[in-house]
Amino acid sequence: MARYQRNIPPDTVSLDDGATMDVAKLILEYLRVIAWPLVALFLVLRFRASISRILKAVGDRLASADTVKLGVFGQELQISGTAKELQVAGQQLLDTSPGDERAQEKAGRMLRAIPQLNNPIADIVGIALLKAPREGLSTDELLEGVLNAISPRKDRERFPAEQAQFVLMSMSREVEKILTELVQLDFASVSGERYLLTSAGRDFFKNVAARQQHLLSRFSPGASRQ
């Protein structure tokens, strides 16, 4: 009896188990490649209002700065009004008090503090202390002010828990670092975990606030029509 043989059309592809696994791996690899762009797109669409406000806040700070901080060819350009004012005040001390060792030492401290305070958050902290009540502000109160300046609370409440925790920890470290530098510069004092500007600190941040206001008025939407 003749053995029955099934005829397979020439245009039909038969996959064994190995080939099937290869196709499955290819599909998984493809999905892995497109997963992050899809997640990023979802997050942008989901939090587009918050992102828009954050970008506007950053844009306002860039408009109020004299220069921008970029890591290009190892150069660091100033972005914060605090850093710019430190540069001006420190250089003035160096130029006007060549024989005064204390003034020269103070000028050196100012200039060395620029990299640590070359940050828009330093402006927010300093101006918040300038407007502080007589009892001063705590670190938590200053942190809240910084967060509100960057993004309103109602927008932050929409952030995933992990993202909110990361932002909170990062900003907290930044605020504490700035406060430490201000105390070392004798621009701020701390008592009972509350911070106040010294007389020198008030004069300094009045200049920072005036510089900020001047630059904001130059770059405000109606400035070019005045």
- Count of structural domains within the chain: 2
Residue 224 lies in a domain: no
Q: In this structure, are 31 and 126 located in the same domain?
A: no
Question: Each residue of 109-152: pLDDT tens digit?
Answer: 999 999 989 988 999 999 999 999 999 999 999 999 988 887 77
Task: Looking at the structure, tell me whether residues 38 and 122 fall in a common domain.
Answer: no
Does residue 37 sit in the same domain as residue 119? no
Residue 201 counted as domain residue = yes
Q: Are residues 48 and 137 in the same domain?
A: no
If asked whether residues 90 and 202 sit together in one domain, one would say: yes
* 44 and 155 part of one domain: no
Tokens 């941040």 locate to 205
Residues 129 and 197 in one domain: yes
Q: Which domain holds residue 38?
A: 19-54
pLDDT tens-digit series, residues 44-94? 666 666 656 655 555 555 444 444 444 444 444 456 889 999 999 999 988
The model's pLDDT over 143-195, given as tens digits with 9 standing for 90+, comes to: 999 888 877 777 667 777 777 777 788 889 999 999 999 999 999 999 999 99
**Tell me, what's the pLDDT at 212?**
79
Residue at which a domain ends, from 54, 73, 98: 54
The answer to whether residue 4 sits within a structural domain is no
What pTM did the predictor assign?
A: 0.62
